[in-house]
Amino acid sequence: MSGPSRLAFVISAGAPAAALVLEQQWLWVLALVANAPLGVIARRRGGWISAWLVAQIAISALSGIHALLALGATLAGLAYWDLAAHYQRLEGTEQIFNYRSLVRSHNRSLMTALAMGSLMGGVAIGIPLQLSFVAAVFLDLLALAGIATLARRARSVSN
């Protein structure tokens, strides 16, 4: 496990765990503790890393910790998920050219994505907005339509 990857893992698991310990939500702490070995094993096995991320986001979202802390845990989880896959890809290849440049461009993209994510998430959490249920459904449907378009586009570009 590389340095940034380890840091992302510790933040993703440690920050919500600390908050939940302070709030004495022992069941959720137990869930986080149980999920942590999965993350370590998943780093080696590869296939389970997505399951770990799902569990991590679910715990952060449903445990009732502060929204900004949950956002931080999600961002760190996302970074860990990405870095684990990235290093697995590199380790599985016998021949790598322009290694430093490759890693640099990957890290740059990841940092951009995390910065954008934290900005968007922070704004969404920080600015309170009262919406009626119908308006929320409408906005959600709109977002889902956008994602569906994104998915279609994704399918068309990656043949």
Residues interacting with other proteins, by CB under 8 A? 50, 53-54, 57, 60-61, 67, 70-71, 74-75, 78, 82, 85-86, 89-90, 93-99, 101-102, 105-106, 108-110, 112-114, 116-118, 120-121, 124-125, 129, 133, 136-137, 140, 143-144, 147, 150-151, 153-154, 157-159
Distance CA 33, CA 80 (A): 17
Taking the least distance from each CB to other proteins, the nearer of 1 and 69 is 69
Distance CA 33, CA 152 (A): 37
Taking the least distance from each CB to other proteins, the nearer of 37 and 146 is 146
Angle at 78 between CA 73 and CA 80, to 5 degrees: 95
Q: Measured from the CB of residue 40, what is the shortest distance to other proteins in angstroms?
A: 20
Taking the least distance from each CB to other proteins, the nearer of 24 and 158 is 158
* Closest to 78 in 3D by CA, of 28, 112, 44, 27: 112
Question: In which residue are the tokens 């399918």 written?
Answer: 155
